[in-house]
Amino acid sequence: LASSQASPGLYIVHIAAEMAPVAKVGGLGDVVTGLGKTLQKKGHLVEIILPKYDCMQYDGIYDLRALDVTVESYFDGKLFQNKIWVGTVEGLPVYFIEPHHPNKFFWRGQYYGEHDDFKRFSFFSRAALEFLLQAGKKPDIIHCHDWQTAFVAPLYWDLYAPKGLNSARICFTCHNFEYQGTASASELASCGLDAQELNRPDRMQDNTAHDSVNPVKGAIVFSNIVTTVSPTYAEEVRTAEGGKGLHSTLNSHSRKFMGILNGIDTDAWNPATDNFLKVQYSANDMQGKAENKAAMRRNLGLSSADDQRPLVGCITRLVPQKGVHLIKHAIYRTLEMGGQFVLLGSSPVLHIQREFEGIANQFQNHEHIRLILKYDESLSHAIYAASDMFIIPSIFEPCGLTQMIAMRYGSVPIARKTGGLNDSVFDVNEETIPNQIRNGFTFTTPDEQGINGALERAFNFYKNNKESWKQLVQKNMNIDFSWDSSASRYEELYAKSISRARAQASNN
Ligand code: ADP
């Protein structure tokens, strides 16, 4: 295990539970790859550490090979071997950790949702740091994400900096404060953290359940930089309503906390080069978009009788956060208004999955509605390309990527004004907003009336102002949603934190 080459830029290591396209559940996976690639292009050395899941898309990993050394890491009073694999994903070097633990932590056929997730990911967080230490790596920044790798922050300062892995500043990004990984305080000891020391109100103790520890809180307290994925969401989570119990912690650490809007991977999401599409197209050549719409209708068995009938798309995890009742309502309302609706979604919540299976069956052979209840990357690209409008009626939305992808594919977003949607979707009728940035239809109140109003305005615009609609679509396709400017914000935060540490060190 050789230490990484010196590079003119920073040496940044992401430790994460997801990475698109090989191990993706949601937006987190897209962010790790999109931010990583952009920072690499800017001249930084970027490496990723992931668990070696059995259910990854292995065909997206190039030159995957096992290193001929193993890394021994501590868990539950014993030492376990980890096999380390290395490969390249989207041009980024990735290390995959395969624990040789009898519980087969990442051999479960799914990424999350196991009874022992706390153990699985606290094990992984520790093994990742152990790997960095034993490999002699000296990163400038260790960037961890969400509760699954939040353990990295306390582990680093309590155990690994004293062992000599002390070159780094820790950045933690919370992609969704709904998921905090809270567990009984005694569970923390498994990965070697001192449960008693950490189960204190100013450390990892959960703010409501005092016999529990909260990994996200721990990462807020112990990291040098804390970010979330949009400026509006960063404001919302500092209030009692939005903070899911962590608003007071975020307020006491507000100096190191900020919201940076995610970008999208504009190479992966590019209608001009997208191999998943029937026909590629661009803002200057919109015929291709019409052909994708026709192909989708044929493939899904929807009526092609009226090619002017608007097609509304929705691609989402079906969880309460996403406003499932409003999605359901929008399906029926779209039909009443003479549109077509395609939903691609899947749900980890059994009763929601059942409910949508019922609706899917009801419309099984319907000429205007189709529900496809699974995860399907290829179909998602086809739906972005085929749809005229795209709904995102979220109750809360840390950033949301689908509104940006939709715009890049010429599908006009209809979104609730919350979190990152509020920072990226601007109503075409909102006169207080400069005309050049107006790009969609928004509503504020998360009820049927709210979404009806926005849907109706979108349908009227589509039907009655053909030329303006076309201009809106073309304008949206040309918006820069790349990671460039957001990655620069991260670069600035990293650099500031590093120079602060150097200044402190030279004062001591
Ligand atoms: P979240 O991270 O909360 O799920 P985001 O909007 O940040 O929501 O990211 C969602 C990402 O997952 C997008 O890239 C979207 O295209 C993708 N996605 C969601 N559901 C599906 C699905 N059923 N099939 C394919 N892709 C999906």
Question: 402: CA distance to ligand 1 center in Å?
Answer: 7
DSSP codes, 391-425: EE--S--SS-SHHHHHHHTT-EEEEESSHHHHHH-
Q: Best substitution site from 314, 370, 371, 402 to test ligand 1's pocket, by max atoms within 8 Å of Cβ?
A: 402
Q: What is the pLDDT of residue 265?
A: 87
**Ligand 1, atom nearest to 397 Cα:** 3
Phi-psi region of 231 (alpha: psi -120 to 50; beta: other; left: phi over 0): alpha
Q: Give the CATH fold of the 287-481 domain.
A: Rossmann fold (3.40.50)
Specify the residue with its C-alpha closest to ligand 1, atom 12: 26
Q: Best substitution site from 315, 347, 418 to test ligand 1's pocket, by max atoms within 8 Å of Cβ?
A: 315
Identical fold between 11-263+485-507 and 287-481: yes
- φ and ψ of 391, to 5 deg: -105, 140
Question: 269: CA distance to ligand 1 center in Å?
Answer: 13
Q: Are 114 and 120 in contact (CB under 8 A)?
A: yes
Question: pLDDT digits over 207-238, tens only?
Answer: 999 999 999 999 999 999 999 999 999 999 99
380 contact partners, CB below 8 Å, separation of at least 6: 315, 344
Q: Give the CATH fold of the 11-263+485-507 domain.
A: Rossmann fold (3.40.50)
pLDDT of residue 444 exceeding 50, the answer is yes
Q: Provide the 8-state DSSP code for 321.
A: G
Question: Structural domain boundaries of the chain?
Answer: 11-263+485-507, 287-481
Q: What is the pLDDT of residue 4?
A: 47
Buried b / exposed e over 103-119, threshold 16 CB at 10 Å, is: bebbebeebeebeebbb
pLDDT of residue 407 exceeding 80, the answer is yes
Q: Best substitution site from 265, 401, 483 to test ligand 1's pocket, by max atoms within 8 Å of Cβ?
A: 401
pLDDT of residue 104 exceeding 90, the answer is yes
199 — pLDDT class (breaks 50, 70, 90): very high
Place of tokens 């960037």: 143
- φ and ψ of 226, to 5 deg: -125, 130
User: Which protein residues are within 6 Å of ligand 1, measured from CB?
Assistant: 26-27, 30, 315-317, 344-346, 375-377, 380, 399-402
pLDDT of residue 1 exceeding 60, the answer is no
pLDDT of residue 6 exceeding 50, the answer is no
Which residue pairs from 66-73 have beta carbons closer than 8 angstroms and sit at least 24 positions apart in sequence? 67/1, 69/1, 70/100, 71/97, 71/127, 71/130, 71/131, 71/134, 71/135, 72/130, 73/99, 73/123, 73/126, 73/127, 73/130, 73/131
Euclidean distance between CA atoms 181 and 169, whole angstroms: 23
Specify the residue with its C-alpha closest to ligand 1, atom 18: 316
Question: pLDDT digits over 375-385, tens only?
Answer: 999 999 999 99
- Residue among 396, 393, 421, 418 at smallest CA distance from 407: 421
Q: Which amino acid is at 293?
A: K
**Ligand 1, atom nearest to 377 Cα:** 25
Q: What is the mean pLDDT of residues 326-345?
A: 98
Q: Are 47 and 90 in contact (CB under 8 A)?
A: no
Euclidean distance between CA atoms 26 and 260, whole angstroms: 18
Question: 281: CA distance to ligand 1 center in Å?
Answer: 22
Query: Order of strands across the sheet with 389-392?
Result: 369-372, 340-346, 311-317, 389-392, 412-416, 441-443
Q: What is the pLDDT of residue 439?
A: 98
Q: Are 23 and 50 in contact (CB under 8 A)?
A: yes
**Ligand 1, atom nearest to 28 Cα:** 2
5 — pLDDT class (breaks 50, 70, 90): very low
Question: 172: CA distance to ligand 1 center in Å?
Answer: 22
**Ligand 1, atom nearest to 380 Cα:** 25
Question: 73: CA distance to ligand 1 center in Å?
Answer: 34
26 — pLDDT class (breaks 50, 70, 90): confident
Question: 316: CA distance to ligand 1 center in Å?
Answer: 5
Q: Provide the 8-state DSSP code for 6.
A: P
Q: What is the pLDDT of residue 224?
A: 98
Question: pLDDT digits over 67-101, tens only?
Answer: 999 999 999 999 999 999 999 999 999 999 999 99
Q: What is the mean pLDDT of residues 163-183?
A: 97
- Residue among 118, 60, 59 at smallest CA distance from 90: 60
Question: 248: CA distance to ligand 1 center in Å?
Answer: 30
Q: What is the pLDDT of residue 307?
A: 83
Question: 498: CA distance to ligand 1 center in Å?
Answer: 34
Question: Of the ranges 25-39, 131-145, 170-184, which one carries the lowest mean pLDDT score?
Answer: 25-39
Q: How many angstroms from the chain centroid is the CA of residue 213? A: 24
Q: How many angstroms from the chain centroid is the CA of residue 286? A: 29
Q: What is the pLDDT of residue 334?
A: 98
Specify the residue with its C-alpha closest to ligand 1, atom 4: 26
Q: Best substitution site from 343, 380, 409, 421 to test ligand 1's pocket, by max atoms within 8 Å of Cβ?
A: 380
Question: 202: CA distance to ligand 1 center in Å?
Answer: 35
Question: 21: CA distance to ligand 1 center in Å?
Answer: 12
13 contact partners, CB below 8 Å, separation of at least 6: 46, 47, 48, 49, 132, 137, 139, 141, 142, 143, 168
**Ligand 1, atom nearest to 317 Cα:** 20
pLDDT of residue 315 exceeding 80, the answer is yes
Q: What is the pLDDT of residue 27?
A: 85
Q: Are 228 and 261 in contact (CB under 8 A)?
A: no
pLDDT of residue 3 exceeding 80, the answer is no
ipTM here: 0.99
Q: What is the mean pLDDT of the chain?
A: 96
Question: 317: CA distance to ligand 1 center in Å?
Answer: 6
**Ligand 1, atom nearest to 344 Cα:** 23
Residue 215, judged by CB atoms within 10 A of its CB (0-12, 13-18, 19+), counts as buried
Question: 361: CA distance to ligand 1 center in Å?
Answer: 23
Q: Is 78 helix (H, G, I), strand (E, B) or coil?
A: strand
pLDDT of residue 356 exceeding 80, the answer is yes
Q: What is the pLDDT of residue 504?
A: 87
Specify the residue with its C-alpha closest to ligand 1, atom 19: 316
Q: What is the pLDDT of residue 232?
A: 98
Question: 80: CA distance to ligand 1 center in Å?
Answer: 35
**Ligand 1, atom nearest to 372 Cα:** 23
Question: pLDDT digits over 266-296, tens only?
Answer: 988 999 999 999 999 999 999 999 999 999 9
Q: What is the pLDDT of residue 507?
A: 84
Q: Where are the alpha helices (DSSP H) in 223-371?
A: 231-236, 247-252, 287-300, 324-336, 350-362
Question: pLDDT digits over 426-440, tens only?
Answer: 999 999 999 999 999
Question: 145: CA distance to ligand 1 center in Å?
Answer: 17
Specify the residue with its C-alpha closest to ligand 1, atom 24: 375
Structure tokens at 306: 């009226």
Q: What is the dihedral of CA 128, 129, 131, 135, to 10 degrees?
A: 140
Specify the residue with its C-alpha closest to ligand 1, atom 9: 27
Q: Are 323 and 395 in contact (CB under 8 A)?
A: yes
pLDDT of residue 38 exceeding 90, the answer is yes
Euclidean distance between CA atoms 233 and 259, whole angstroms: 7
172 — pLDDT class (breaks 50, 70, 90): very high
